[in-house]
Chain A
Amino acid sequence: MNVLTSFFEALDSLRSNKTRSALTILGIVIGVGAVIAMISIGRGAENSITGSIQGIGTNLLFVLRTQSSDVTNPQPLTLEDAEAISDPFLAPSVAHVAPMLEGQAKVTYDGESQLIIVSGITPEFEIVHNYQVTEGEFISEDQLLGRSSVALIGPDAADNLFGRKTGIVGETIRIEGQPFRVIGVLESKGGSTFTNQDNVVLIPLTTAQTRLFHRSKRNQVDLLIVEAYSPDAVQSASDEVSEILRNRHKTKIGADDFTILKQQDFIETASMITNILTIFLGGVAAISLLVGGIGIMNIMLVSVTERTREIGLRKALGARRVDILVQFLTESATLSLIGGILGILLGWGISYVVGLIAAANKANITPTVTLDTILLATLFSTAVGLFFGLYPANRAAGLEPVEALRYE
């Protein structure tokens, strides 16, 4: 018997028991649909998270102070450290250095108070973070040197304080009671997954050091944002920064009082986390596919029992063991194939709807259904059908013709 004949015979026999076949297929549909939806949503989340990390800026290194018991005399990071790193002879891979002092402060306008992250920054911050102002202008070198009481305001912070995002330049806000003139409004960086980059107030670093955030050492900063010339230069920039800081802080190798985080590490970590999440979700979904497979096995066993006489007759007419085996395997594979195709459509639909819901909630997740996901799901579901069909088919093929013909 050729493949096509067996396939049509299988379809015929599945059609003769429509409800039962449909319910069995449903198990596979849900399984495949769940696998596809979960993997697609996971991929979408991964893209969204790595995308928002990339949105912080490219080629960036973050240098932080570490408190470690291994270091005998830990030094904080200072403005002088920043100056040393920006020296092109000491650190040729470094393009820009933006030192930063950061803290939460009470920001007041017209009796409205908010706790907002206030960052003391230098003009380099504009470059490394690729910031644009929608109105006004960025903090200048003069304002930095003059310790001016000026502030840039993020769009969300503006919205919270003023109830609007434009026409704010020239207004005066109070930070911890001290007046600051607003000189610009920042463009929106989009909702980040970790912190809201739009709900910030930026002031000159020198002003922050002297008037707002008092640290143990003069000229101390919390964070150095270092921009390398290119993605390829990130590693050498990291090595150069390490060497400079070790020299300046007089620490031994392996006992640093600072930590360098590469943006690429963040992306890799986030990517790894979302990958694990995707595998986990996909695995849970695969269990439902497995349950669907057991459904196929169950129904095929019932079918074999019901058709014992038919099997006996076919054997009497000359069907070999393999003929019966193929007949029943074709039936279970057909069930799972149809289920797989419908499941792909279902998974696609779920992904699409989840994308719409995410978009409505500004979550910015675009589920991506890829060809390899579809191939994987189809292969897996057909394999499930064949695997779980094997036992019933084998049972049918092993029936003794005499016994099977006598079966009532």
Chain B
Amino acid sequence: MPKWAMVIDLDKCTGCGACSVACKMENNIPIVDPEEARNGRAMVWMDMMTTVEGDYPNTHVKRVPKPCFHCDDPPCTLVCPVGATYRNPEGLVAQIYHRCIGCRYCMAACPFTAKSFNWYDPKWIEGASDVGNPDVSRRMVGVVEKCSFCSHRLQKVKENADIEDRQIRDGEYVPACLESCPADAIVFGDIENRDSDVSRLSRSYRVYRYGEDLGVKPKVYYLARRTGS
């Protein structure tokens, strides 16, 4: 059974934000009203954490793209009263929208604030064009949503592999953020397969993960910058 994981190379990443938009378009993530967005309710699955470090003029900016970490020991799934969020056998932490009752316990439990809540129907401000990806369902008001590692793509990839009677190839199943990253900073694949790029990179000396001390075992690995900060 494969186990899907992601590596983000912060040495390559420039923080351009293309991944966030690629994700929003791929997953039909709604645009909220301007007022709500200004109040911090913009919905983004692939978030961007920005910190400015160091004292002027030795200032460094650090931009870190942050999807759901798909923890191997996810705290969010433990608290879900209805089993709407769970860790599947391939290591994906799934969110089944039609089962979600909107209690938002999982949001509180997630140490990485990776989840967002649909406070409204998926209304793209009045008149917004709403042509979207037919492979991803739109969430209704009152459910929690988050990065799925583009699991809808896995469904298709699996189907192709099954029909051709073979294993999924390394690099065949990739999320949308990876696909459009102009810096090729994101690597994705089966971490159980030691020959895969993701597995190789996850053993790099530069690797770190957020929340390792929490014991949640995130499956998003970061490669630290070698210079600067």
> Do A and B come from the same complex?
no
Residues of B participating in the A interface, judged by any CB pair closer than 8 Å: none
